[in-house]
Amino acid sequence: MKFGGSSVGTVEALKSVVALVSDHSTANDIVVVASAMNGVTNSLIQAANRASQRDEKHVAEATEQLRTKHENVCTRVITRAEGLKQTLGQLNLELRELEKALTGISYLGELTPRSRDYVLSFGEKLSTLILTGFLLDSGVRARRLTGEEAGIVTDASFGEATPLMHLTQQRANETLRPLIEKHEIPVVTGYIAATQDGVPTTLGRGGSDYTATIIGSALGADEVWIWTDVDGMMTADPKIEPAAKTIREISFMEAMEMSHFGAKAMHPRALEPAAKTGLPVRVKNTFNPNGPDTLILQDQHIRSENIVKAVTSVRAASMVTVSGEGMHGTPGTAAKALNALGKNDVNVLMISQSSSETNISLVVARSDLERAITALREPLLKESLFKEATSEADVSIVAAVGAGMKGTLGIAARLFRAVADNGVNVKMIAQGSSELNISFVVREDDVLKSVHALHEEFRLGD
């Protein structure tokens, strides 16, 4: 069971978590994984950055704010004096270590990927201390472990480390199985792990979900349950489409496609360990535990009524188009454009090239637009491949996702007719060979109309 930041961020949320763990542990063997409290990781990133600028005042203020935030929750959930004293003592030890790390960064005036990962590890360390203390206070036998102590071993790619699964499987079974056999619930810090030499690493976006699927796969669990603040994965963002419903069953491939295109769900990387072993993953709502949930499975169960399963969108994007007659028949033109963007840390969300080979359109995050244009100037000027680079700042990507689209005639026609009937102009189209999604670009102002049109066309609210 993995609990996200919203599930451990308040007193009421923590009460729900402890009740869920307590109820389910009577008939199941459970491992708990927890994220940092909401907002804590961002505070740690800011503190580390300010420390590298030698802002010692901010370091002291940030540490004190974290102390206040965690102590306030701790004193409200742990009622027994001895347990409270012990948990507060451990919290203070961790916070002193954090302050030392930030002070060291401040003295050096330098923030390395390794030291950044060390600072970020404290969010989960603090939240799991409180959760474990609350479980013990409630009569539930629990043991708190860091990702390293639980047995997760990674490479040294700081910021987005990759687990060494063979070694992790061995160590996780050696560490966690004896606790489980003694009916003691391991409470593991999400997001953080360590190299073989014990140097702290982080698992990147979706890191706590990743921790859960790594441990679940290593132990051969029956299921991984991701507890969040929504009723599973939805047919659309309910803030955009009020008729959105929970998708009751979906394949790993469909779930990955949805995550790539902005759905509030698991990061594709976090699904990899489960997909490799066929480990079912269930997405549930901490605040509505008996409500609908989503089961993610290996197999694609396609029914005639759910050819398209979801409509997702990526907002705040921009489109860049490079064009020129010199591109026609010249090998490597797309590679040169993509290399230029990659060297400047610009991530490409979507790409499309005309059959005439005289233009390539790329979609990037709006915050990366200026950097993208600057990056493309080098091949534009040096090699005379591209005659010009134009851009549209205010666009969004809309994607229809579903395994049932593969090989089904007329899906694209229905899709584009539906958006056209609602007065939406499509600026760019892309479909992968998997045929699991059709993506297109529209003006930012047309996102709501596009999502609603497709949700209605494919009857996703039924």
Domains located in the chain, CATH noted:
2-229 (3.40.1160.10), 310-457 (3.30.2130.10)
Residue 12 tokens read as 């009421």
Answer yes or no: is pLDDT of 136 > 90: yes
Which position has the higher pLDDT, 340 or 358? 340
Out of 98-107, 111-120, 186-195, 325-334, which region has the weakest mean confidence (pLDDT)? 325-334
- Distance, CA of 88 to CA of 75 (rounded, Å): 8
pLDDT the model gives residue 239: 86
Distance of alpha carbon 120 from alpha carbon 81, whole angstroms: 30
**Whether the Cβ atoms of residue 263 and residue 310 lie closer than 8 Å to each other:** yes
- pLDDT value at 355 more than 80: no
209-234 residue pLDDT tens? 999 999 999 999 999 999 998 899 99
pLDDT digits (tens, 9 = 90+) for 410-422: 889 999 999 999 9
- What is the per-residue pLDDT across 240-260, written as a single tens digit (0 to 9) for each? 899 999 999 999 988 888 876
Does the pLDDT at position 304 exceed 70? no
Alpha-carbon span 18 to 9, nearest angstrom: 13
Q: Is the predicted pLDDT of residue 313 greater than 80, yes or no?
A: yes
Rounded Cα–Cα distance for residues 408 and 455 (Å): 18
What whole-number percentage of the chain has pLDDT above 90?
73
Q: pLDDT tens-digit profile of 9-54?
A: 999 999 999 999 999 999 999 999 999 999 999 999 999 999 999 9
Q: pLDDT at residue 392 above 60?
A: yes
